[in-house]
Structure 1
Amino acid sequence: MSMVRASALSGYRELVDELGGRAEPLLERFRIPASAMSEPQGFLSYSALIRLLEQTAQELDCKDFGLRLSTRQDLGILGPLGVAVRNCETLGEAMQCASRYMFVHSPAISFTPHAAERSDRVLLVFQILLDKHVGPSTQVTELSIGLVVRIIAMLTQEAAPLVGVRFRHLSCASMGSYRAHLGAPVSFGSDVSAVELDMGKLALRIQDASLQLRELAEDYLELRHADPHTPLSIRVRLVIQRSLGTGAASCIDVASAFALHPRTLQRQLRREGTTFEKLKDEARSELARGYIANRDLPLSRVAALLDYSEQSALTRSCRRWFGQAPRQLRAGQLAH
């Protein structure tokens, strides 16, 4: 059964209430626990979500229910994927990141960049990947496309990269509703459901993006869905290196990223001939030279970035690694 994060229903109960309906009987009909509303990290059946939204739109006589629900959601429903997307450098990178990791939100859907008929345009195509046809999916498609439009506007500060929206299905709501929610020309009966973007706008920079946050989020996504043949020690060292200086590089923190007890993590690392402490020391050593060479970084800050509580601990480690104290190492690098 293909699943989707329960956060896909964010705002559902409130919208149903606002339209004069009751959410619980609808959820129960499709065997979706009411607790999903308060447990967004959980998962529910994607087929059930499709049927729920279609039935809700019909019973409440709200043909644009999916579009309305999209206005109550944002990047936050994507969890760690949302963090990675929000902190990409450009809109184009954000699209690639979302496409690569969308399966983490739900393996039942994809958003993939495709060439458009015009060379200066690109399509971000939405697809439902279920093996079995579950009936009409108009509402979930409009919810998904509407949410993407909102996310693009947020990432680009409404710099108008969107030039059109396409739906495979026929229009089911008023054109006024589509214009209000999507803010771009809409066509129906298309070969694909997609948003159409100006190719030149893919280079738009995302304000306040943090490379460190993006790398941490992508590391998390990779680790939770990693190739099982990749040695644990390699994955642990990567997490340590990304986490140093964030206050989350302890054995407990790193073990938590792998959903392991710290003792279990240590035991598995010993089987690979290493320890958490050794991996952390190697990660610190690898980063130290670059930090020390940066004259704009006080050595007290270097110590903090390497997760040392005192500068004297950095000094002792540098002497062990490089045979010199940090000040001597910095002076030598500057002399060259």
Structure 2
Amino acid sequence: MNFVRSSCLSGFPELVAELGGNTEYLLASCDIDISQIDSEEYLFPYRSFCELLELSAERLNCRDFGIRLAKRQDHNILGPVAFIVMSAETVGQAIETVSRYLHHFTPAISLSIEDLFGVNLASMEIRDRQGDQFPQATEHMVAACYNIIKLMMGSDKVVERIWFRHSALSKASIYKADFDVPVEFNKGFSGSVLVPGALDKKIPSSNNELYKLVVDYFRFRSDEEMPAHTEIEEEEFGSVVKRIIKKLMPTGGLCRRVVAEQLNIHERSLHRRLKPLGYTYESLLDEVRRREVELLLNNSDMPMSQVAGLLGYSEQSSFNRAFKRWFGVPPSQYPK
């Protein structure tokens, strides 16, 4: 189970009160101890936080609740990881380093830079296998990242637009009020699309000595917490391969060789390590694709042709055959 620091609830009681809600009731409904939320040492399941945002949005009739909460927060919600954000030399260095040590805030979120045909995207993903069922949490983490980048860079524009995998939760006018850049939905990733050259932009508060000190601290903590070897544990290997497949799907680069290269292992090693987990590469790819199509159809109004493309199918006919094998009916007859 992945836990998160209580700092993610900064501003939550005030927002709930402003909307006329009962903070204690909402927290208790999601098994979060209200007496502990001001403690820096308090950890609770990230899934409880996701459920809290969905419940709050529903009960308070506030479809942009996750974004509103993020707007009340700053880089300090990250705890010690915040020092990396403000002390790194460039935007690229900050994102790359935060992605390495974000697990000190929560292991439930992954951050990466995706190169999408020359366009850089600061991609964020909830690692929970049902993460796409928590759009409020997705909007919260993307909005929080966007706000932190703005705080880090001041008036120097870094983000060109915002992407979400899910369909819009609110009216376009609400998103326009929440963000000062265009927001697009039903995309292959969730995150911030960066302006050209953004990764090389200098951070005004850069402090090389502080940066080295913070990174050394996290390296020391990581050495304490992680086994001496760097090999991925077998029970985690399947999850790691699934994440790589999900990342590569929209690009169509789903052959075994490419996935093995991402893991820095040989194709034969990939086959050998999946076998004890009950998978071949092909069966694992099929499972991920089926799961993804269920999430996309349940959480968006995306056309089937676009779904096929996001799953890495170059031909609609191949997608149609797989779809019928998964669900017993062709895409045109799938109940919505």
Judged with a 3 Å threshold, the aligned counterparts in structure 2 of structure 1 residues 134 and 210 are, in CA distance, closer, same or farther, namely: closer
**Whole-Å separation in 2 of the counterparts to 1:74 and 1:158:** 16
Corresponding residue of 1:291: none
- Report if the CA contact (8 A) 2:152-2:205 is conserved: no
1:149 is aligned to 2:153 = no
Report the CA distance between 1:107 and its aligned residue.
0.8
1:9 & 1:122 partners in 2: Cα distance? 30
Cα distance in 2 for partners of 1:107, 1:134 equals: 13
How many angstroms does 1:41 deviate by?
Answer: 3.5
**In the alignment, is the contact (CA less than 8 A) between 2:86 and 2:205 conserved in 1?**
no
Shift of 1:200: 0.8
**Equivalent residue, structure 2, for 1:252:** none
CA distance in 2, matches of 1:71, 1:60: 17
Whether the 8 Å CA contact 1:113–1:124 is kept in 2: the answer is: yes
Distance 1:30 1:88, change over 3 A: same
Q: 1: distance between equivalents of 2:62 and 2:52?
A: 13
39-48 or 26-35, which deviates more: 39-48
> Secondary structure in 2 aligned to 1:41?
coil
Deviation at 1:78, TM superposition (A): 0.7
**1-structure distance, mates of 2:128, 2:187:** 20
Are the equivalent residues in 2 in contact too, given 1:164–1:186 (CA < 8 A)? yes
Shift of 1:156: 1.3
Which one of the candidate residues 217, 221, 230 is aligned to 1:220? 217
Return the alpha-carbon distance in structure 1 between the equivalents of residues 210 and 112 of structure 2.
23
Aligned to 1:36: 36
Q: In 2, distance between residues paired with 1:27 and 1:96?
A: 33
The structure 1 segments of at least 4 consecutive aligned residues displaced by more than 6 Å after TM superposition are none
Native 8 Å contact 2:81 2:102 kept in 1: yes
In structure 2, the residue matched to 1:106 is 106
> Is the CA contact (8 Å cut-off) linking 1:80 and 1:221 kept in structure 2?
no
* 2:160 corresponds to: 163
Deviation per CA, 1:295-324: give whole Å up to 9, x if none: xxxxxxxxxxxxxxxxxxxxxxxxxxxxxx
Write out aligned runs for 1:12-161 (5 A): 12-117=12-117, 119=118, 121-131=119-129, 133=130, 136-161=133-158
Distance 2:141 2:39 in 1: 20
Q: Distance in 1 between matches of 2:68 and 2:112?
A: 24
The alpha carbon displacement at 1:179 in A equals: 1.8
| SS of residue in 2 equivalent to 1:220 | helix
How far residue 228 of structure 1 moved from its aligned partner, in angstroms, is 4.8
Are the equivalent residues in 2 in contact too, given 1:54–1:136 (CA < 8 A)? no
RMSD: 1.6
Whose Rg is larger? Answer: 1
CA pair 71-134 structure 1, distance change in 2 beyond 3 A: closer
1:172, 1:129 → 2: CA distance? Answer: 21
Q: Deviations over 1:183-232 (max 9, x none)?
A: 111111111111100231222111132112112211221111215549xx
TM-score by length of 1: 0.65
Report the Cα distance in structure 2 between the residues aligned to 1:229 and 1:48, rounded to whole angstroms: 32
- Cα distance in 2 for residues equivalent to 1:158 and 1:135: 32
Q: Aligned equivalents of 1:135 and 1:25: distance in 2?
A: 25
**What TM-score do the two structures reach when normalised by structure 2?**
0.65
Partner of residue 184 from structure 1, selected from 176, 181, 184: 181
- Residue 182 of structure 1 and its aligned partner are, at CA, apart by 2.0
Q: Measure the CA separation in 1 of the matches of 2:210 and 2:218.
A: 12
Contact 1:167-1:187 within 8 A present in 2 as well: yes
Q: Percent identity?
A: 33
Q: Deviations over 1:246-267 (max 9, x none)?
A: xxxxxxxxxxxxxxxxxxxxxx
Q: Deviations over 1:96-124 (max 9, x none)?
A: 1111111111111101100123x2x2011
Residue type of the alignment partner of 1:217:
V
Please give the per-residue CA displacement for 1:151-200, whole angstroms capped at 9, x wherever unaligned: 11111113112111111111011222212222111111111111100231
Aligned match of 1:331: none
Structure 2 gap ranges (5+):
230-336
